[in-house]
Amino acid sequence: MPVDYSKWDAVDDEDDEMAAPRQLTPERKAHHDQSMVLIAAWVREADPRLSPDETLLLMGFLAVQHHGIHPDNVRRHVEIVAFLERAAVQGKEPSVHALLALGQLCKDRSQDADAEAAARANRVLGVAIGALNTLWAARCEGGARQLFDALLREPTGALAKRYRDSEFAFECVAAPPEDPRDAPPPAEPVTWLRQMGSAVMLQLGAAILSLLVTWLTFGLTGMASNGETSAPAIGAEPWPEVPDSNAPSAFAAEVASD
């Protein structure tokens, strides 16, 4: 069933964007690790088609791009750029469609009657929106390096405001790209070996047909030269003559002559 990419309502992340940075205590580190385990399970549930390698890549990006103790993830631009550029060299990119599916799952669960479960879904939704915002903004701006160079150059400019307001994420939600996994499989290419095999089979078939025609032609010609108009039917041979029981036998003729 296709994911319903209806617009998500804006939600507050677990950290206020303008809050002062906090120290990363062992308790917060443990909480972060537990959150990543939960998010990984939700990612697999939201997008079962994601391979283990793709899931690992996405989880790595979620961890790298999260603002942590900072008010936003711009201060983590070095790690984010390095992660995305390293993935690009390998021909990989964190899955936009998995983030969209994760966001939809979180949005659905944020309506849970259980306040604690709804709050948990909202926190994961905030992480998904932040990751999608960074990933889509990087794609729109020609790469992560170009994106963060512009954000650092004009921290109060129009691009920075759009980025802080997660507008890139909501634009992607409103008009998601086509998922290449839903495209029909490409037609199998016709190689020179297959073309040659087809030609050989056609020639072989033509040769066999020619032999059959020749055989039939010579067979009919031979029958005509022997005065036969058609081949005798099976079982049409004449039965041997049965001697007349009333005719005198040779022995009876000899006796009569004596």
pTM value > 0.75: no
pLDDT digit string (tens) for 77-96?
A: 999 999 999 999 999 999 99
- Classified as helix, coil or strand, 207 is helix
Query: pLDDT category, 227, cuts 50, 70, 90?
Result: low
CA neighbours within 13 Å on the CB side: how many for 150?
17
Query: pLDDT category, 243, cuts 50, 70, 90?
Result: low
pLDDT digit string (tens) for 178-202?
A: 999 988 887 766 565 566 666 667 7
Contact 20, 69 (CB under 8 A): no
Q: What is the pLDDT of residue 222?
A: 60
Say which amino acid occupies 104. Q
